[in-house]
Structure 1
């Protein structure tokens, strides 16, 4: 592929590098400033922590050795060397033991003493003066009975502390600069790879802009897999597809030119054919319309017949319902007569039982008559006996007066028994007469019930005959309804078929008219196609001229 690269004063490589390097430099500068400031304070706090630890150690030494200055001096010097700090023990505000040269028996700074007396708490300062030299120092006061008795001090010269801080900050800044340098180096290398792929894509785009479709694939990016390589591959594939498309357009335009000429000739033949088809369709349309009118008349007749069938079916249903109602009523009457027959039988049994009871009562009355006759005989004999007793009492005189009273009472009893017997006899006689009447009525009732049972049997027989006739009538009505229903179903099928035929006829007529309109429209379309074929031929020639600008060989 021949590359015709355009030269730019400020290209993508320069822009990309500036976009990456300038932010990186600014970030590095800001990081250095921020790191220096934050690390300075952090390191000062770390020094304070170390001094605090050393001061507590000095306090422990002081408390363990008491006021033995020589031994304490030796321990303090050793501890100062170990911690790389200066250690001092104050007694009041005077340095009684110290590792600082020429500081023995010197006094504590007035402002520091004032703060310790006021707060009686640990104090970290960065400007403690010892022999005119400033120290970073940490004070731990000795408080007894709420009074300051002394203090333990650990410190390092301020110049030494600042030197330590600067070294650590510089180390941090150098680390940041190295990291940013490595990052920038990696970014530049990566940008170089990206720019190489973008350059290939740019070459493809320039070839496409110059209508040069004869390009070769750059194997330098063959094994790379990323978005930029994909852009170059997409452009390469697009150029190949465009080249194939232009080739196909050339071939197709030539074929289209031939087809347009053939299409013009065929459209003229089609116009003549459609005119003949239009005449035939006109005749078909007229016949379909006549067929639709006749089928419509047949459908109306079938519809009227359907209404008559519906009336017959409705009457048959009503007749069947009436027969069912009659059958139900007849069944109720038969049940009622059965109950009546059973009731009559019960009455006859009851009448028979009453007759038996009357017979038993008659026999009892006869027994009462016999007993009553005996009672009357006894009353007569008692009356005679009382008469004889009265006579004998009269004969006895005064001695028979009591017996005369008894005889009188017996006579009265005999008369009363005779009277009661007569009344009982009359009552029994009346009772016998009433029983005779009851027996006659019972015999008549039994005869009537027997006759009524005979009539019930005859009526039941007549109703059974009627029930058979109703069942047969119901069956015949059901058969008639089934036949009429079948006729109605067949009528509906015929009606549906006629309606379908009518609809088909109407559809045929409408379709014929639509086909007629379509044929007429086809004629106009054929004319348009003829015109468009001429236009297509002209357009194919213009298309050939347009694609000729692309180099594909």
Structure 2
């Protein structure tokens, strides 16, 4: 059953049942009431008739001619009394002496009075023998049914001697017509009320069903995504539950419109933010590729610098051996003056070799200095790259914060965005930490390079001093060769110079070893920087993938929102 049938069943069913019950009860009550009224009227007339007869003094008796007397009053000749009672009450009156009609106002078809007929056995049993007053709903008088009332007549002054009875009757058909007319009028009124109630119930049921069906259609359209539905103003103005349902439907539509508009706005903002984040991650990834290339180049330069430092150390070892050899030759010259000329020539040759070695060392130091300068330039590029990474990480962190805020506004639909935004924030913090570690490593590398530059400058001064010493030694050797007579003095000068040279050689050798250690440290540091750069590149690749996932989710959300039809969207 639909709601219309249910409302009709609830409203009309009880009316029908109540109408039928009321009609049956009313008919019964009216009929019984009318019968009681007829009975009371008959009883009153019978009592009045009996009183009229009893007002005559004397006993009831029957004479030899068959007349019945009450004292001096001849009942058998009391036509005027019974006719007057009939005229006043409209009822037939009969006086029974025993069970026989003595006097009556009832006449037959010929106009003769109905006399000398006998009463029925039931009436005799109840009235004459039982002494009861008896009301009959069907008493036949010459074929005409009457409502009749029988009242026993007692002998004058006796309470137990019944000599006859008084009967009062009225036409049953006339009374039934009156009763039936009242019943039909009452039935017509009840049926009219029932029909009116049924019509009103059907109208209300149709109206309620129509309004509910209209609201259901509106809600169905809303469920189908159409948020442009409208409800008739007459339904909105109604004060009943259907009006409340219509107003709630409009409220639901407006609330869903506002919600979907807000979700659409947030989804599009999230889509723009994800695209911006993806672009930033892509740009940062490209920048980190450049940084990785630069760091790789620094690693290669550092390795080359370490190799040059090892070569310089080897040259310094050779130079030390040469200096030791020169010292031995000077001792030989000191011990054997005869071999002065040969020793001088050997010393000249040795000095020549020393000058060549010194030139090589000077060139090597210059090359190491250039490598160190390149290292400083690479460190500066690393610092600039780390500053750029830091700025990108801060911007990424800000974008993730905005995405978290927009996801929080989206409620349940935005929980997936909040997780992605949290992952992006975590990645940006890792990127920021990695950039700080790179910056610290680059700073240490720059400090080490600065120290290397200072050592190079000191070593260069030593080499210049060594070159000057070589020149002086060369002059001494030439003077030894030209002035053999002063050989001993020149040998002592050579001995002193070689000792100074040995001392200087040790200092230069120590500086070169320090430079080699620094170069090795630079190689380790730049390798660590390269590894960290690789980690940063991988991190930004993850950021790029996360941004791509976020953009895909935002695209799906925007596509889902397009399911709804909203005014102005």
Give the structure-2-normalised TM-score: 0.45
Greater RCO, 1 or 2 (C-alpha within 8 Å, sep 6+): 1
Give the structure-1-normalised TM-score: 0.46
